[in-house]
Chains A and B, each alone.
Chain A
């Protein structure tokens, strides 16, 4: 595997590494403007000379990716359906983005840490977090439902780009302790305009933290297209300004995403610093269930992107490799249906909420003032219950 091996042509002339006359701080070059692709739209392997030095993952690995993507899509569709039925308050779907989400997350080791956003529920599911725990926030039970330490996966961050700094900080801590741990974070295309994205890229570059940034370019920030976020040729181009290797990747090619993220994570764990990877994909669903995309994009665009479907592409390749026998397909579908069913069942079950928990875990230390407010609420609830019993209202 090579990193930014070639000098890249921009504006028709050869670009040289960034520092001719200044002291060389980091000899990085602009990413190749041709997105890295290992399997093309038609499901055929890209010729070796166009692979930018990356190797196609093994057929077994590709099958594993495919299986996880099928399960993820089925699950995402199920959750969207449950949301339409009113079981969830909101759900930001990642339909169409499976190659980026799954290709990235399956490259992580158990000991690595993931710092996701609200968009990345399918990545969490693939990382092995229980669906109800993932959906706790979207159903409205509790902000975040799983134990981050148990899954080495932080909470889904809603304040855009803030989690990228957490990933850098944890990477720094791991580096200081000498642990071979990498951190990976997703950042949306819109979120790259936030100051925290800049600060995270820069801190990671200066500190050389073991951090992999996945810019998940799904073309829209709610309604706002990428052209209104940046004048840059690609978002990956920014990397050069931080002295960090940057890659521009076809985010609908699971093979390419997985190969490059695996390489970047290896690099991170061996102490060679951060990598910024832009994965170009498309958000097929609305931003969330309460969004109306017909106000800002045409359905022909969506149709066009559906024709570049990441699952179909990998499927075609695997069929050509004779990896997708009927038995394999069936087992994949069974897995997917099982996950959907489990989620349906768990999400349809009623959960009880303890209002007294509101006052727990605000602080580690006991607070008398909070105890008073807790007692107040407890008394109010008790009084209501007593009144209901008194008036014969069943509770």
Chain B
């Protein structure tokens, strides 16, 4: 998937002279995850460069560039290191268009490697999506596979809205036979990645893979699981999710982030409000615990596994 992201950046840099890429170590090194590998050499210092090490500065200057007509793509090195940029993102990136009655457009992309599962020490495995999705004005998307990574990043760069682009670190090394360029569904659409009839598992980013594994496991127990990859967290594709729930009558939402006030709460509430009469059971949240993200030796107990998910589905009050 890192390769697909790299190709998307390369193709956008080549297609549009206004696209610039900067951040910490994104130049000659190619980023700590190598997503910007080779771009500095290919496009030069005026298009791809290492900035000083300061996240508020990176996002704040990207705002000024976007106001001037550039399309900056900036990288936050890790999820937890996006927090110094919180004020710039929430108070300016998200609001500028509205504050100016549409006169200022900020076409910028903030790439954030996110979530855990890679044995990272503390502050390297956060799932911060709810901070961003709770902020009107932001578009928040997350790919789960190489084809989407390519297509969605290109779409994000072309979007006139600022986009928080969350890249699940555990999927960086995911391989798939994809011929590039590839265009997948528009990024505001959720996609049913596996059809089923008994229950809908709503997943995104790193948990899509877990959900698919769960579906495999469930099929051995005669439970037919439908898996939805949300792809976009904000906006939320009510239509695709609603259609699935009206078919299966049961849904669970998966994420790595802590449960309390997490993104799953929004999903459960929305779907319940809209599809209550089609639901045979309450919507479950199968998520991380309400604790700080654990140390590498303990993260296996924290992350939802297919077994845990299946057990959770088994404890449901099933109604005939």
Contacts and interface: CB of A to CB of B under 8 A. Distances in A.
Interface of A: 115, 142-144, 147-149, 154-155, 159, 162, 164-174, 176-177, 183, 195-196, 199-200, 202-203, 206, 357, 360-365, 367-369
B160 interface: yes
B101 A142 contact: yes
B117 interface: no
A364 B139 CA distance: 10
Most B-side CB within 10 Å, residue of A115, A200, A363, A368:
A363
Contact-size category for B: 35 or more
B61 A172 contact: yes
Given A162-B92, A173-B70, A361 B65 contact: no
Given A162-B92, A165-B57, A169-B61, 9 more contacts: A143-B95, A155-B104, A162-B87, A166-B67, A174-B68, A361-B100, A363-B161, A364-B97, A369-B235
B188 interface: yes
A143 B61 contact: no
Interface stretch (B46-54, B290-298, B311-319): B46-54
**Chain A contact residues: over half helix, strand or loop, or mixed?**
helix
B64 A183 contact: yes
B282 interface: no
Contact of B64 (A165, A360, A364, A367): A165
Interface string B90-109: 01100111111111110000
B23 to A, nearest CB: 12
Interface string B111-153: 0000000000000000000000000110100000000000000
30 contacts: A148-B100, A148-B104, A149-B103, A155-B96, A162-B87, A165-B57, A165-B63, A165-B64, A166-B60, A166-B64, A166-B92, A167-B64, A169-B64, A169-B66, A169-B67, A171-B64, A172-B61, A172-B64, A173-B65, A174-B68, A196-B88, A199-B57, A206-B51, A361-B101, A362-B98, A362-B136, A363-B161, A365-B160, A368-B239, A369-B235
Given A362-B137, A365-B159, A365-B188, A144 B64 contact: no
Contacts of A176: 20, 46, 70
A147 B101 CA distance: 9
B56 interface: yes
Nearest to A148: B104
Nearest to B186: A365
Contacts of B70: 173, 176
A62 to B, nearest CB: 33
A162 B95 CA distance: 13
B100 A144 contact: yes
A142 B99 CA distance: 7
B19 to A, nearest CB: 12
Contacts of B104: 148-149, 155
Closest 9 CB pairs of A and B: A169-B64, A165-B60, A169-B61, A199-B57, A170-B64, A173-B68, A361-B102, A364-B160, A166-B64
A5 to B, nearest CB: 29
Contact of A168 (B61, B102, B236, B239): B61
